[in-house]
Structure 1
Amino acid sequence: MRSPREDFEAAERRLARHYHAGSDLDPAGGSTPDLVSADMQTAGSASAAAPASFHADSAKQAVPSPSSGDDMPTVPIPARKAITTFDAASKRERIEVKPFATRLMRRTVTGAFGIWSRISTTVVRRLGWYPRVEPYVGYGTGDYSRLICRTVYSPEHAQSGVLIRGIRGMLAVAAPHTHVQASIDGVPLNTVQVGVSEVYDRVDSARAHGVEYAVSDSAGYLDLVAARRLEPGIHSVYYSVENRKPVAANLYTIPASAKVGIISDVDDTIMITQAPVFWKAAYNLLLLDPKKKASVPGMSVLFARIADLFPGAPFFYLSTSPWNVESSIRNFITDHGFPEGPLLLRDLDPRPKTFVPTGPQHKLEFAEQLMADFPDMKFILVGDDGQKDPTTYATIARRYPGRVLAIAIRQLSPKESTGIASVAGVTATQPIPVTDVPVFTGTTGSNLLKTMLPYLKAHLDTLD
């Protein structure tokens, strides 16, 4: 089996060869076969498969306008569809290995989602709605980029990325199997079949060249790994679908020189949601005006101080919140002065994979993906004790010795953690993790700042 780097290099040669020979790439995207996924079983393996080098010629090309197709560069960027928790289950989570009762429950749930999807799709189509793209912030290593978006149905004049209440986001109707054209800084992406396809993929053995579009999955999600060398900084990714103007999202390219990264939870870590109390969490997530969401006291100051201490350090916001509320969290981060960075959220539609990952599983998989994406980087993990961040972070530290610089756990107040669990005599918070990595605790960002910042300053020399 060829290495991922060889796969991408072969893809580049194939794309260039077909173009210069008068390739039969279908510009309309009407008759070219669907995208076939590569051999990637988990989010971690997807990121570990990143290419390390590309041809410099394609990296130098750029155009001023992403919407004028005639001005597009002639050498496209090879990209492949990643297998993540969006559309694949790990071996232990595959439905065929589960007991009969679990299989029955999963099929019931996925069937219910399918019925809702068919009914809602029929209704919105009769209303004249058609697909648009919800772009999400991506990130890259300099050698390759991770791009994520979702296709949903919406009225003609609806805009992407606008701030809405959570309930509206949760009721969004997915537009599955929609053709999406994408570009980075105006240079188009061509999706290619590389590597060995999974047994769950619809394999098209006749296709041996790239196409100018990718296809979203049954829940409307599209997760691509694009092979392109980019300068560190913020780049623009443009997505377009038929009858819609292109929409843009930021792409954060992390410099190879960055020695420290920050992985932070969102709920009750930077934003007060009272997640342990179900009805309060539901209200805050679904019904509360997004502009009225409250920040955890002192956390933005703590993050700003960490950013000052480690210039250029990327901030990754890893949350079990669904992608449906991405715009709400994105605006919250900006409005409350937190360092901007990629959001890594969760898909609550079980159909592509026949299950919904648990919160800890979701965080573990994406943390492992980041560990593989940035093998020379050490991480500061920030969470709270209202869910399972302490044990999840301890697991990460144990699996990746020497890669976790420090763990910060924000302790919830009794008001935030009191719910049915406490009435039943069960604590609603998690104990402090037992690990070799220093763990700092506090009820506010100011408490954490007083104890953790001196430690981080004392260990600056160890990062050289």
Structure 2
Amino acid sequence: MNPARTAFRALLPVLERGVSALDRSASAFLQPRRARGKLLLQPYVGWGTPGRVEVSGRVLLPRTMRPPQTGDPRLRNVRNALRRLFSREVGGIGVTGTLDGVPARAVSDSDGYFTLVFTLPEPLGAGWHEAALSLDGREGTTTARVQVVSQARFGIISDLDDTVIQSDVTSVPRMLLTVLTGNARTRSPFPGVSALYRALTHSEHERNPIFYVSSSPWNFFDLLLSFLSYRHIPLGPLFLRNWGVDLLAGHGGYKHEVIERLLTRFPDLPFVLIGDSGEKDPEIYAEVVRRHPQRILGVYIRDVTEAHRDTGVMTLRDEVRHTGIDLVLAADSLNAAGHAMSLGLITPDGYRGVLESVTRSA
């Protein structure tokens, strides 16, 4: 392992303790003041089974940002990105939710996060539902969308950065320029990705659920959600990361944890894994296949790197093939769609939709 990386990992516990101490000191002074003002309740996309659903979110001080437009100046996008990154969270706030008449309650932590857990006496039907959320002692409610998974042919677990949305994560300067100066309407998806994901999620008789796992911080949740909606990419729960020391510690363990959680929550559901070659998706997904060969139908890796990286991915592809699973290094969405059609994961009509989308973008 790289000596610098080894030293950084050894330093992480010290940094985490220092950050925690600073958080406690700041919270003791700031939180009571913030709690007295106007608050923003930001729910994330809920998910679960017919009998158990989780809805997470965050309590923040409001920030002033108008809806994004394609013609917004870059400077405005930079200011909005910084407002998101330097959010002012509020802890110790009670949050109450109701889903299908069933209540749940939680209290926001020092970073403003909360998770409501609903245990349903009467099972919910598969598909989308809405939960009503409110802050204790405050007027008004906020609606959270909830994806309930029951009968489905398979699920999809997808990365976002450089898999769905062009982010240039292999180059830090380009990535920062892209992330900071763009907005939900100017950020670009890869050609054909919307048509491919619609083909994967829409089977003949049911909707296959999709879950997005990204190393982006939760601070960008609203931007990513707006991006998916604007680009007509199927909605699904987003699993992002807390902004801070844990964001610098690498995302391999984090992604493993989320995927294992989904596999455990939906024990009868096989999955398709989609990522890119820019970071560690091939290694992470290959390990998931080794642990759960009967649960994975296929792995699609978007090729966004140079030839030397492709060699390593091809080695992983050969290892994964021993389990009977294909790991496809896909040059574009059409390449992935062709393989998915050969497995029966999408229909010929779905493939034609991807072909038309990629052709229009050429």
Taking structure 1 as the reference length, the TM-score comes to 0.62
Letter in 2 for 1:171: F
Match of 2:179 among 285, 288, 291: 285
Instruction: Determine helix, strand or coil for the equivalent of 2:334.
Output: helix
Instruction: Determine helix, strand or coil for the equivalent of 1:130.
Output: coil
Letter in 2 for 1:137: V
- Which residue number corresponds to residue 354 of structure 2? none
Matched, 1:323 2:238: no
- Which residue number corresponds to residue 252 of structure 1? 147
Question: In 2, distance between residues paired with 1:220 and 1:430?
Answer: 40
Instruction: Structure 2 unaligned segments of length 5 or more: list them.
Output: 1-7, 69-76, 348-362
- Which residue number corresponds to residue 42 of structure 2? 134
Tell me how far 1:173 sits from its aligned partner: 0.6
- Which residue number corresponds to residue 441 of structure 1? 329
- Which residue number corresponds to residue 59 of structure 2? 151
Cα distance change on mapping 1:398 and 1:332 into 2, 3 Å: same
- Which residue number corresponds to residue 269 of structure 1? 163
**Contact 2:91/2:111 (CA < 8 Å) preserved in 1?**
yes
Root-mean-square deviation (CA), in Å? 3.2
Question: In 2, distance between residues paired with 1:401 and 1:216?
Answer: 38
Tell me how far 1:187 sits from its aligned partner: 3.6
Cα distance change on mapping 1:448 and 1:144 into 2, 3 Å: same
Match of 1:431 among 304, 309, 313: 313
Tell me how far 1:457 sits from its aligned partner: 4.9
Letter in 2 for 1:337: H
- Any residues of structure 2 matched to 1:302-341 within 5 Å, and which? 302-309=196-203, 311-341=206-236
Matched, 1:450 2:346: no
Letter in 2 for 1:443: A
- Which residue number corresponds to residue 395 of structure 1? 287
Tell me how far 1:362 sits from its aligned partner: 1.3
Question: In 1, distance between residues paired with 2:39 and 2:310?
Answer: 41
**Contact 2:102/2:118 (CA < 8 Å) preserved in 1?**
no
Higher relative contact order (CA 8 A, sep 6+): 1
Letter in 1 for 2:179: L
Tell me how far 1:224 sits from its aligned partner: 2.9
- Any residues of structure 2 matched to 1:195-234 within 5 Å, and which? 213-228=105-120, 229-234=123-128
- Which residue number corresponds to residue 110 of structure 1? 20
- How many residues are treated as equivalent by the alignment? 320
Q: Deviations over 1:88-122 (max 9, x none)?
A: xxxxxxxxxx9985432322343455566678768
Question: In 2, distance between residues paired with 1:458 and 1:332?
Answer: 24
**Contact 2:217/2:247 (CA < 8 Å) preserved in 1?**
no
Tell me how far 1:225 sits from its aligned partner: 2.5
Cα distance change on mapping 1:441 and 1:240 into 2, 3 Å: same
Instruction: Determine helix, strand or coil for the equivalent of 1:303.
Output: helix
- Which residue number corresponds to residue 296 of structure 1? 190
Question: In 1, distance between residues paired with 2:249 and 2:226?
Answer: 25
Instruction: Determine helix, strand or coil for the equivalent of 2:297.
Output: strand
Cα distance change on mapping 1:110 and 1:428 into 2, 3 Å: farther
Instruction: From the two aligned structures, give the one with the greater helix fraction.
Output: 2
Question: In 2, distance between residues paired with 1:355 and 1:274?
Answer: 18
Letter in 2 for 1:383: G
Tell me how far 1:298 sits from its aligned partner: 1.3
**Contact 1:347/1:356 (CA < 8 Å) preserved in 2?**
no
Question: In 2, distance between residues paired with 1:153 and 1:303?
Answer: 35
Cα distance change on mapping 1:162 and 1:363 into 2, 3 Å: farther
- Any residues of structure 2 matched to 1:43-54 within 5 Å, and which? none
Tell me how far 1:131 sits from its aligned partner: 2.7
Question: In 1, distance between residues paired with 2:304 and 2:276?
Answer: 7
**Contact 1:239/1:246 (CA < 8 Å) preserved in 2?**
yes
Question: In 1, distance between residues paired with 2:26 and 2:67?
Answer: 25
Question: In 2, distance between residues paired with 1:118 and 1:428?
Answer: 50
Question: In 1, distance between residues paired with 2:119 and 2:297?
Answer: 30
Tell me how far 1:451 sits from its aligned partner: 2.5
- Any residues of structure 2 matched to 1:174-213 within 5 Å, and which? 174-189=89-104, 213=105
- Any residues of structure 2 matched to 1:49-88 within 5 Å, and which? none
Instruction: Determine helix, strand or coil for the equivalent of 1:231.
Output: coil
Higher-Rg member (1/2):
1
Taking structure 2 as the reference length, the TM-score comes to 0.79
Instruction: Determine helix, strand or coil for the equivalent of 2:343.
Output: helix
Q: Deviations over 1:17-64 (max 9, x none)?
A: xxxxxxxxxxxxxxxxxxxxxxxxxxxxxxxxxxxxxxxxxxxxxxxx
**Contact 1:129/1:154 (CA < 8 Å) preserved in 2?**
no
Instruction: Determine helix, strand or coil for the equivalent of 1:292.
Output: coil
Instruction: Determine helix, strand or coil for the equivalent of 1:225.
Output: strand
Cα distance change on mapping 1:117 and 1:309 into 2, 3 Å: same
**Contact 2:27/2:110 (CA < 8 Å) preserved in 1?**
no
**Contact 2:184/2:230 (CA < 8 Å) preserved in 1?**
no
Instruction: Determine helix, strand or coil for the equivalent of 2:109.
Output: coil
Instruction: Determine helix, strand or coil for the equivalent of 1:456.
Output: coil
Instruction: Determine helix, strand or coil for the equivalent of 2:294.
Output: coil
Letter in 2 for 1:291: R
